[in-house]
Amino acid sequence: MTLYLKQFYESPMGLLSIVVSEEGLVELDFYDPKEEAPDPYGALEQVHPYHEKVKEWLDHYFAGDPITISFPLAPQGTAFQERVWQLLREIPYGETKTYGQLAQDLSCGSAQAVGQAVGRNPLTILVPCHRVMGKDGQLMGYASGLDRKRWLLHHEGITWKEK
């Protein structure tokens, strides 16, 4: 049975939940204690060395000085989702791609299928789904809300078109 451990990080955009296992970072997501959604991992609030590495990465990111990821990633998804998430990691800081471009890169005929996988990304910010735009660079959905997506894009110096 896998043991999951959780810690929190106060970001400029709100509280982030960091869930790790021995395999690596499992989830990085915005956390609202008022929502009180059940924890699918049953994570215990204990410190693991990966938490400190994730927090260090976040400190650098929010300071505008992104660093290389120095900890393993262990998101849980389908093979297709994991392919999409890997492709998201290849979008450089300060740049974007469209859902259509990602679908083409994956030799997938459906930008919608790519969009669904992007929307299920469990590693927000770190696996930069906020860098994915609609056709012609239009701002499209973000699981954590469009205001957060705008903030992240602005933070990285990215311009966009409003829908």
Which amino acid type is present at position 128? P
> What are the tokens at 108?
């997938």
Give the chain's length: 163
* Cα gap 32→94, rounded to integer Å: 27
Which amino acid type is present at position 73? L
Active site residue 129: yes
**What sign results for the dihedral spanned by CA atoms 69, 74, 77, 80?**
positive
Residue whose token pair is 């093979």: 79
* Active-site annotation holder among 129, 133, 152, 153: 129
Ordered strands of the 14-21 beta sheet: 5-11, 14-21, 24-30
- Please list the active-site residues: 129
